[in-house]
Structure 1
Amino acid sequence: MELFLAFCLLLLFYAISKLCKLAYQKRDQRCYMLSYQCHKAAEDRKLDTGSCAKIVLRNSSLGIEEYRFLLKTMVSSGIGEETYCPRNVIEGREESATLMDALSEVDDVIFDTLDKLFAKTGISPSDIDIIVASVSLFSPAPSLTARVINRYKMGKDIKAFNLSGMGCSASVVAVDLVKQLFKTYRNSFAIVVSTESIGPNWYSGKEKSMMLSNILFRTGGCSMLLTNNIALKEKALLELTCAVRTHIGSDHEAYSSCIQVEDDLGNRGFRLTRDLPRAGAKALTMNLRVLLPKVLPLSEMLRYKISYCRNKITKRSKGIAGPGLNLKSGIDHFCVHPGGRAIIDEVGKSLALNDHDLEPARMALYRCVNTPTGGLWYVLGYMEAKKRLKKGDRILMISLGAGFECNNCVWKVMKDSEDKNVWKDCIDHYPPNTFANPFSEKFDWINDESMRFARREDYVPKICI
């Protein structure tokens, strides 16, 4: 009897120790966002309708068909008049960018956002334990994190990581990396800086699939302050509850759908192929199959399974729009990557989202365009500035990027938030009453079939009006 009792006590002790260990590990997996800061470029770098057309015109290798393609794309892009361009492009040096141009572009974003982030939170740079920089098309030596450490005189034991080549979804990868590191480094502070080097990667050739990047990519970026210190929970804006990363690079079409290459004449640029929407849809579907069961209530998953089986038996599943799941049973807001009008519309259609759900992404595209790795945070900023974020809400953040990758995560809002952040000077004017694109009126002549036979000297004056 005594032996049996001892065995039971030992078993009970083992169970308690396991539960304590799990609870301790769970505590170490906390990842809070204390604050974030998006970049707004100087007014002398603003790219309005006329400026954009003149930049396009500087490429003397283009003919009327290429101009027709570019101007039509501008009209249908969903882009407004408030975007910003790299300084070397504004100054007409897109074909002769220097190393200093590249460094200046990323320094402007990184140091501006970090200065404001440290001032806003009161956290000293010397308190930072982890730093992650994500810039896809620029990897200097010393590294970008080394430039930050040098400028702010950070500690010698800081853990620094540089991510490159991951495209528009790199900031979610960076956040997930921080979350994994938090399992080892307790009570730590981490900063993530996400931007892109657009100026030195401006495409100067005439291949249509590579000219798209000149229209869709603009200057911008963001810095975030994260911690796993539970004592700072009350000060946090968001808590990361789930992150799922999907990589389908083994599929050659997906791998090649969004890739940096040289054209036949040696002009370097970023090619966006027709396989891109298909790759995005495939990666998103695979990702959500893993992520949604983690965030949606069990009742919704059971309802979906029963409905799926019933539709399969009755052959009614064909033609049903959306994922079949009621995503709003576990998600309150959708932070969709503003990669372009087609991407936003396709994600909205796939997930059965309405105009209210997609408004933040569309407005970020209209005002900021796709600022690669920093784009998602302008979308989040719009939600915050519009006072949409309430304590307890959950945000699904959807990002797509080169590789091909789909990296999604879910944040829990820790407190009511209404900071107008980078949108403070214009949020009251959004959404605008009309999305009429100035290109439509100014360059409608480009659709005249008679212009197909025009000479360059005939249409150049029309573009320069």
Structure 2
Amino acid sequence: MELLTPLIILLFTISYVSFWLAKLICKRGETCYMIDYECYKGTNSMQLNTQECANIVSRNKNLLMEDYKFLLQTIVNSGLGEETYGPKNIIQGDEERPKLVDSLSEIEAVFYDTLDSLFARSKISSSEIDILVVNVSLLSPVPSLTSRIINRYNMREDVKAFNLSGMGCSASLVAIDLVRHVFKTQKNRLAVVVSSESMAGNWYCGRERSMMLSNCIFRVGGCSMILTNNTSFKDRAILKLKCLVRTHLGSNDDAYSCCMQVEDDEKHAGFRLTKSLTKAAARCLSKNLQVLLPKTLPLWEIIRYTTTRKPGSKINLKSGIEHFCIHPGGRAVIDEVGVSLGLNEYDLEPVRMALHRFGNTSAGGLWYVLGYMEAKKRLKKGDRILMISLGAGFKCNNCVWEVNKDMGRENVWEDIIKKYPPKKTVNPFLEKYGWINDDAMGFIRAEDIKKLLGFV
């Protein structure tokens, strides 16, 4: 047995080196740089603070006393702060009668605000764009969202347009992977990826608890970015894509159904999040990292982990990765990922703060986390960033970026970064409406809640 261990290490080393040599040969000419990105920041009139959220909740005539208690507990524990952004039609009280124009105006505000800023700052004209990929899961109008952008910016007739829908919170990396594969067949191209979600037409008005969760965590947001495989842009690029791995557990029934757009028994449409979500996320993440980490971590760490593995031991991700950009899907998922990967609070600070300030913005969420790191001047040349995205399907799409130069430009965090992390993140709901959870208040009828909240 003592002779077998060195032999195993030798064979593993030979296999590992051979794998990397083969990858280097196959990857010649495969380059994907990020030149710039821009996140969306809503207006003050769109902010969903404690008072606005309570107002919206009180309008739901279907809720009973126990539902108010559940919502209070969920909002208090959500990790969201006072400045997230909601759709204008919801704030104005039209959640039960959403119109197509509400969804389109919401999405176009995200698109045009981020793209205008992106083209201006990068000094790249819209007419130079060769590839356009848009991912919005819950809205697929005709003409397509890509067509609306092409029309707005008068893009060329030969632009390659791809419109992705139904891909969930991890769609942003799916879009980047699509661009990466197109880059393999076409040289010196510029691509724009736009990631967002449509909330205006998808507010749940029923009382099924697994569907009420989405109202508590999903918010308006999005991001646009410019990618290229033209090496002449190398000096201008901020990031270089090192590897990207996609994992799909759609063949597993529990994973497939843990995040699903459905109608409840009363025909109220919404998005159902089941208790199987964290289990599916953990399983999908584990399978993804089994493929991704050998491509990322140094050989000595792979050997150490393989040969000295003990029950409960974890691989040292920080041996090859400096920063962790995790999808801000919710506090429970963030905690689960943090524990499973052995991350500390410094590592998790960016995702917790992105969730607190902007909420779960679906496919756009990763870029608010990246923006926080940049605003805090954490990203230095040569650093590697592991992006972890989880979404309906169930999917886990992860990638590793290398920082091309020190990053610290102005971004969506610029005006507020000095306030973060806040000394206190207790949700004001607890202070204002904590009495709802008092057992002594159980005699109060649901119709009396509005009066107690001060809306009547």
Q: Flag whether TM exceeds 0.5 (same fold).
A: yes
Q: List aligned pairs for 1:34-45, cutoff 5 A.
A: 34-45=35-46
- Does the CA contact (< 8 Å) of 1:220 and 1:371 recur in 2? yes
Q: Distance in 1 between matches of 2:319 and 2:204?
A: 44
Does residue 370 in structure 1 map to residue 360 in structure 2?
yes
For residues 411 and 30 of structure 1, the distance between their equivalents in structure 2, rounded to whole angstroms, comes to 12
Q: Which residue of 2 aligns with 1:397?
A: 387
Partner of 2:376: 386
Paired with 1:399 and 1:224, the residues of 2 have a C-alpha distance of: 17
Partners of 1:345 and 1:274 in 2: CA distance = 15
Q: Is the 8 A contact 1:168 1:401 kept in 2?
A: yes
The corresponding residue for 2:68 is: 67
Q: Is the 1:101–1:200 contact (alpha carbons within 8 Å) kept by the matching residues of 2?
A: yes
Kindly provide the amino acid, as one letter, of the partner of residue 210 in structure 1.
M
Paired residues of 2:146 and 2:161 also in contact (CA < 8 A): yes
Kindly state the Cα deviation for residue 307 of structure 1 after the two structures are TM-superposed.
Answer: 1.0
Q: Is residue 243 of structure 1 aligned with residue 244 of structure 2?
A: yes
Q: What's the secondary structure of 1:47's corresponding residue?
A: coil
Deviations 1:49-87 (A, max 9, x none): 011011011001101100110011111111100100001
- Which whole-Å CA distance do the structure 2 matches of 1:351 and 1:268 have between them? 36
Question: Is 1:421–2:422 an aligned residue pair?
Answer: no
| Aligned equivalent of 1:195 | 196
Q: In the aligned structure 1, how far is the partner of 2:112 from the partner of 2:379?
A: 27
With 26-35 and 389-398 compared, the bigger mean Cα shift is at 26-35
Structure 1 letter corresponding to 2:241: L
> In the aligned structure 1, how far is the partner of 2:108 from the partner of 2:449?
39
Structure 2 CA distance for partners of 1:365 and 1:23, relative to 1, 3 Å = closer
1:234 deviates by 0.8
C-alpha deviation, 1:22, in angstroms: 8.9
Determine helix, strand or coil for the equivalent of 1:200.
coil
User: How far apart in 1 are the matches of 2:35 and 2:454?
Assistant: 47
Residues 1:433 and 2:406 are matched in the alignment: no
Q: How far apart are residue 166 of structure 1 and its match?
A: 1.0
Task: Check whether the contact 1:335–1:361 (CA below 8 A) recurs between aligned residues.
Answer: yes
2:284 is aligned with 1:294: no
> 1:166 matched to which residue of 2?
167
- Residue 463 of structure 1 deviates from its aligned partner by 2.3
Gap regions ≥5 residues in structure 1: 1-20, 312-316
Q: Are 1:352 and 2:353 counterparts?
A: no
Deviation at 1:359, TM superposition (A): 0.1
Q: Which digits, 9 at most, give the CA deviation of each residue in 1:25-52, with x for residues without a partner?
A: 6343100000000000111111110110
Partner Cα distance (1:432, 1:341) in 2: 16
Which letter does structure 1 place at the counterpart of 2:425? F
In the alignment, which residue of structure 1 is the partner of 2:12? none
Tell me the SS of whatever aligns to 1:133: strand
Name the structure 2 match of 1:106: 107
Matched residue, 1:91 = 92
Q: Mark the structure with the bigger radius of gyration.
A: 1
Distance 2:140 2:437 in 1: 41
Asked if 2 retains the 8 angstrom alpha-carbon contact of 1:390 and 1:417, the reply is yes
> What are the within-5 Å matches in structure 2 for residues 181-260 of structure 1?
181-260=182-261
Q: RMSD in angstroms over aligned alpha carbons?
A: 1.3
Q: How many residues align?
A: 434
Other-structure match for 1:335: 325
Distance in 2, Cα, partners of 1:22 & 1:74: 47
C-alpha distance in 1 between matches for 2:442 and 2:185: 63
Native 8 Å contact 1:53 1:464 kept in 2: no
Code of the residue aligned with 2:171 in structure 1: it is A
TM-score (norm 2): 0.94
CA distance in 1, matches of 2:338, 2:189: 37
Please name the residue that 1:3 is paired with: none
Q: Distance in 2 between matches of 1:463 and 1:373?
A: 34
In 1, Cα distance between equivalents of 2:27 and 2:303: 27
Matched residue SS, 1:392: coil
What are the Cα deviations for residues 70-119 of structure 1, in whole angstroms up to 9, with x where unaligned?
A: 01111111110010000110110011111111100100001110000000
Q: Partner of 1:54: helix, strand, or coil? A: helix
Which residue of the partner structure matches residue 77 of structure 1? 78
Q: Which amino acid aligns with 1:203?
A: Y
Give 1:135 deviation, angstroms. 0.3
Distance of 1:22 and 1:79 partners within structure 2: 42
**Aligned residue type for 1:260:** Q
Task: Give the match's secondary structure for 1:141.
Answer: coil
Q: Kindly state the Cα deviation for residue 407 of structure 1 after the two structures are TM-superposed.
A: 0.2
Q: Any idea what the Cα deviations from partners look like across 1:321-363, whole Å, max 9, x if unmatched? A: 6xx1100000000001100000111000000000000000000
Q: Aligned equivalents of 2:275 and 2:443: distance in 1? A: 28
Contact kept in structure 1, 2:72 and 2:434, CA below 8 Å: no
**Residues in 1 aligned to 2:24 and 2:274: alpha-carbon distance in whole angstroms:** 47
- Cα separation, 1, equivalents of 2:367 and 2:348: 14
- CA distance, structure 1, for counterparts of residue 227 and residue 393 of structure 2: 26
Residues 386 and 420 in structure 1, CA contact (< 8 A), matched pair in contact too: no
Determine helix, strand or coil for the equivalent of 1:409: strand
Shift of the 23–344 alpha-carbon distance from structure 1 to 2, 3 Å rule, reads: closer
Q: State whether residues 54 and 464 of structure 1, in contact with CA within 8 Å, keep that contact through their aligned partners in structure 2.
A: no
Query: Residue 412 of structure 2: SS of its match in structure 1?
Result: helix
Question: What is the percentage of aligned positions where both structures have the same residue?
Answer: 60
Match of 2:440 in 1: 450
User: Are 1:156 and 2:146 matched, yes or no?
Assistant: no
Q: Distance in 1 between matches of 2:29 and 2:449?
A: 63
- The equivalent residue for 1:4 is none
